[in-house]
Amino acid sequence: MNRRILLVDDDPVVRDVMARYLVREGFDVDSVPDGAAAMSAYRPGAFDLLVLDVMLPEVDGMELLRHVRLMDAVPVIMLTARVGEGDRILGLELGADDYVVKPFSPAEVVARVRAVLRRSANDPADEVIQAGDLAIDVRSREVFREGSPVELTPKEFDILQLLAEHPRRVFPRLELLEELWDFAYEGSSDTVTVHVRRLREKIERDPSRPRHLVTVWGVGYRFEP
């Protein structure tokens, strides 16, 4: 059975984009535009995870989180445009499991959803993706090759994580651009090519003959574990 997610955000574009990404990744998604609708939709045990915007009409995200925590400990990810430490501390004290600051890429939220669900299932082994001499720690966003740390940029890590979590699946360059860059980003797929080249230089023994990040000519890339 697919995991069921309640998505609460008053921005219809965010709701639509995030719902499409989550559904594509195999989740069942219910989306509502405000806190009052979320209170009506929520029932203990009905959802595996909640994604809540902090700034909501009717009932804001913090109040909604308080309401949910009176009933159960379902995992909650907060979306916020606020960057103040006080807001983050308040949300965490109320029981939020993670925070994502706007603007964000949909792929980042999907990755956070997976990570929070894994942690809630108490399966720490799933936090590390092992592929030959590579170890990808999803929780700490660290990569090791033959036990030595590899310094990646945030975007390089996002690319590696997405591909490694879907081994042997071919990702077209335009799909990677859409998933990992801001959905309002207007760029060329050459951006993806450049990032993959740099990533290969860091994780492959021989970047000219990659073992893990394989090019599918005329299409895109796939990850070989």
Residues 130 and 206 in one domain: yes
Q: How far is CA 208 from CA 98, 145, 153, 166, 200, in A?
A: 38, 17, 21, 23, 8
Residues 116 and 131 in one domain: no
Residues 131 and 58 in one domain: no
By C-alpha distance, which of 52, 35, 48, 62 is closest to 1? 48
Q: Rounded to two decimals, what is the model's pTM?
A: 0.56
Ranges in the chain, pLDDT < 70: 1, 82-93, 121-126, 182-188
Residues 99 and 139 in one domain: no
Residues 176 and 103 in one domain: no
Residues 58 and 113 in one domain: yes
Residues 93 and 50 in one domain: yes
Question: For residue 125, what pLDDT is reported?
Answer: 44
Question: For residue 88, what pLDDT is reported?
Answer: 62
Domain boundary among 120, 142, 174: 120
Residues 142 and 69 in one domain: no
Question: For residue 159, what pLDDT is reported?
Answer: 92
DSSP the chain: ---EEEEE-S-HHHHHHHHHHHHHTT-EEEEESSHHHHHHH--TTS-SEEEEESS-SSS-HHHHHHHHHTT----EEEEES---HHHHHHHHHHT--EEEESS--HHHHHHHHHHHHHHHTT-GGGGEEEETTEEEETTTTEEEETTEEE---HHHHHHHHHHHTSTT--EEHHHHHHHHS-TT----THHHHHHHHHHHHHH-SSTTS-SSEEEETTTEEEE--
Question: For residue 44, what pLDDT is reported?
Answer: 87
Residues 10 and 97 in one domain: yes
pLDDT tens digits, one per residue of 75-114: 999 888 765 656 666 666 677 888 888 888 888 888 888 8
Question: For residue 124, what pLDDT is reported?
Answer: 46
Residues 131 and 50 in one domain: no
Residues 143 and 195 in one domain: yes
Residues 169 and 112 in one domain: no
- Give the C-alpha separation, 59 to 62, whole Å: 8
Domain boundary among 120, 153, 179: 120
Domain boundary among 83, 101, 120: 120
CATH code of the domain containing 129 = 1.10.10.10
Question: For residue 86, what pLDDT is reported?
Answer: 63
The count of structural domains within the chain is 2
Q: Provide the residue range defining the domain that includes 144.
A: 125-223
68 Cβ partners below 8 Å, 6+ apart? 42, 50, 74, 76, 95
CATH code of the domain containing 50 = 3.40.50.2300
